[in-house]
């Protein structure tokens, strides 16, 4: 049965950590959806509640979990209390948390611990393979899109959706939840369903949830009305269902005065010299023609906007080849490249010596690169922990 379409999205909602669960443990793939990791984004939660209800009597092959994000912030209708829950999954905090040594100092950190424990239980009680989906909305109007860390597994899976796919956002963000699970080798990515509190975002989230359950093998095409959900998303992203990469971020601090000019939509093309915002009393004009991504139209946040460009098909193919050949194994033999730790997970690149190791080249090899001052990059291989063998017998992998 189909739930009634909601006319107005409530500002505050009260939910449990596990919003709902369907299916039988250990019988197939496990899909874990998060809604409301940002408390001012209830649309994903509402969509999950509706899908759970609609599927109540349907036989599912595997397990479908709907997990609440920042549930205390959702109850207050605010993005977070003190710390953004989607920036807490840093290496520093998570190493402590995994070792049982992390002490929460605020409400958001308590949420982090609870979510971590909930997922740990699921990972222990299910056999997988596991899929993580994080449902969000944006402060500006947008075509629905996917944000994904650039690993071969993630790319292969997300290409199934008729949506714009944004690679590499994690290079600019510290501690998003989806990166933590991605770095554990799982398929894990985010879906932005539309503008905050818009009813369209709920419908888009529902279509995304149904398609995902189908792609993972939990439901057959006939069980989900595939065409309807696929068309809903495809119609909105006509001609945009490609990979894009972020090449620039405009960062702001709490004290900065930033105001985006009215009317910018996500993925909007901008011309050279176009006036797009005001920053501490100065005009921000475009240095070149580009495409705006995630313009900021809310009071909280450090990302004023990003600039993106379409990734050429040739580079997508070349990068798969280079990663399969494991060309990067020779990197530490080069002058100016050093292992950072004994565990050999990260390398430090001295750009004064290893000038040719530019960010675009490192991306091709499957590394995320973080700028450390002017002349150094810290690089980390996204493929190193890939759980490819756990997914390779799944229907979509072939
Ligand atoms: Zn969000």
pLDDT in tens, 75-110: 999 999 999 999 999 999 999 999 999 999 999 999
Average pLDDT over residues 292-316: 87
Residue 158, both tokens: 């997300």
| Cα 277 to middle of ligand 1, angstroms | 22
- Confidence label for 22 from pLDDT (cuts 50, 70 and 90): very high
pLDDT value of position 391: 95
Query: Band of the pLDDT at 61, cuts 50, 70, 90?
Result: very high
Residues 327-339 have pLDDT tens digits of 777 788 888 888 8
Q: What percent of the chain lies above the pLDDT cut of 70?
A: 98
Tell me if 12 sits within 8 A of 197, measured CB to CB.
no
Q: Structural domains in the chain? A: 18-241 (3.40.630.10), 249-310 (2.40.50), 313-381 (no CATH)
Between the CA of 295 and the centroid of ligand 1 the distance, in Å, is 13
Residue-level pLDDT at 210 = 97
What per-residue confidence (pLDDT) applies to 333?
Answer: 81
Calpha distance 245→150 (Å, rounded): 9
Among 130-139, 299-308, 370-379, whose mean pLDDT is lowest? Answer: 370-379
Q: How far apart are CA 86 and CA 303, in angstroms?
A: 13
* HSE value, Cβ hemisphere, 13 Å, CA-based, for 79: 14
**Strands, DSSP E only, in the chain?**
18-23, 30-35, 63-68, 130-138, 145-148, 165-167, 187-195, 243-251, 258-260, 269-270, 275-279, 282-285, 290-293, 303-310, 337-339, 346-350, 367-372, 376-381
From ligand 1's centre to the CA of 325, what distance in Å?
A: 36
Give residue-wise pLDDT tens across range 348-389.
888 888 777 777 788 888 888 877 777 888 888 888 788 999
Provide DSSP, 80-139. Answer: -SSS-GGG---HHHHHHHHTT-----SHHHHHHHHHHHHHHHHHHH----EEEEEEEEES
**Ligand 1 mean position to 67 CA, how many Å?**
15
Q: What percent of the chain has pLDDT over 90?
A: 64
Q: Given this model, what pLDDT does residue 1 score?
A: 47
Is there a contact between 115 and 15 (Cβ–Cβ < 8 Å)? no
More confident: 276 or 382: 276
Residue 297 has pLDDT above 90, yes or no: no
Distance 108 CA to ligand 1 centre (A): 14
* Mean pLDDT of all residues in 298-308: 85
pLDDT in tens, 229-238: 999 999 999 8
Cα 355 to ligand 1 centroid, rounded to whole Å: 36
Q: What is the pLDDT of residues 165-224, one digit of tens each?
A: 999 887 888 899 999 999 999 999 999 999 999 999 999 999 999 999 999 999 998 888
Tokens (6 digits) for 32:
């874990």
- Residue 360 has a pLDDT of 79
User: How many A from CA of 1 to the centre of ligand 1?
Assistant: 29
Q: Measure 153 CA to ligand 1 centroid, in angstroms.
A: 23
- What 8-state DSSP symbol labels residue 5? P
Q: Is the model's pLDDT at 8 over the cut of 50?
A: yes
Mean pLDDT computed over every residue of the chain? 91
- Helix (H, G, I), strand (E, B), or coil: what is residue 64? strand
* pLDDT at residue 4 is higher than 60: no
End-to-end, the C-alpha distance of the chain in Å comes to: 33
4 CA to middle of ligand 1, Å? 25
Cut 0.75: pTM above it: yes
pLDDT digits (tens, 9 = 90+) for 141-151: 899 999 998 88
Report which of 124, 131, 130 is spatially closest to residue 190, judged by C-alpha positions.
131
Tell how far the Cα of 326 is from the centroid of ligand 1, in angstroms.
Answer: 35
Over its C-alpha atoms, the chain yields an Rg (Å, rounded) of: 21
| Residue found by looking up tokens 């006319």 in the block | 7
Centre of ligand 1 to C-alpha 137, Å, is 6
Contact 249, 155 (CB under 8 A): no
């Amino acid at each position: 049965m189909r739930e009634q379409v909601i006319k107005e999205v409530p500002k505050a909602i009260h939910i449990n950590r596990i919003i709902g669960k369907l299916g039988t443990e250990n019988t197939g793939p496990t899909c874990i959806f998060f809604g409301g990791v940002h408390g001012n984004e209830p649309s994903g939660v509402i969509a999950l509640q509706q899908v759970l209800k609609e599927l109540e009597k349907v036989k599912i092959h595997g397990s479908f979990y709907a997990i609440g994000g920042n549930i205390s912030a959702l109850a207050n209708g605010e993005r977070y209390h003190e710390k953004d829950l989607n920036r807490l999954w840093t290496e520093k905090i998570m190493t402590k948390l995994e070792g049982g040594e992390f002490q929460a100092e605020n409400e958001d950190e308590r949420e982090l611990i609870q979510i971590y424990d909930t997922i740990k239980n699921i990972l222990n009680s299910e056999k997988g393979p596991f899929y993580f989906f994080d449902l969000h909305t944006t402060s500006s109007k947008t075509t629905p899109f996917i944000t994904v860390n650039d690993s071969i597994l993630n790319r292969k899976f997300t290409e199934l959706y008729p949506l714009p796919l944004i690679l590499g956002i994690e290079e600019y963000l510290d501690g998003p939840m989806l990166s933590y699970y991605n770095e554990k080798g799982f398929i894990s990515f985010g879906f932005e369903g539309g503008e905050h509190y818009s009813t369209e975002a709920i419908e888009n989230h529902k279509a995304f949830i149904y398609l995902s359950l189908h792609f993972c093998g939990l439901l057959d095409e006939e069980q989900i009305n595939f065409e309807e959900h696929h068309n809903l998303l495809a119609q909105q992203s006509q001609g945009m269902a490609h990979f894009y990469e972020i090449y620039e971020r405009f960062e702001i601090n709490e004290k900065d005065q930033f105001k985006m000019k009215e009317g910018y939509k996500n993925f909007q093309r901008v011309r050279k010299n176009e006036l797009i915002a005001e920053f501490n009393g100065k005009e921000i004009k475009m240095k070149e023609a580009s495409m705006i991504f995630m313009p900021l139209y809310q009071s909280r946040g450090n990302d004023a906007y990003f600039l993106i460009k379409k990734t050429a098909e040739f580079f997508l193919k070349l990068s798969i080849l280079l990663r399969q050949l494991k060309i990067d194994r020779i990197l530490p033999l080069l002058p100016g490249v050093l292992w950072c730790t004994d565990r050999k997970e990260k390398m430090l690149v001295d750009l004064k010596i290893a000038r040719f190791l530019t960010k675009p080249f490192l991306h091709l090899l499957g590394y995320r690169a973080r700028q450390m001052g002017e002349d150094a990059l810290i690089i980390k291989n996204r493929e190193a922990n890939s759980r490819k063998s756990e997914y390779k017998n799944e229907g979509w992998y072939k």
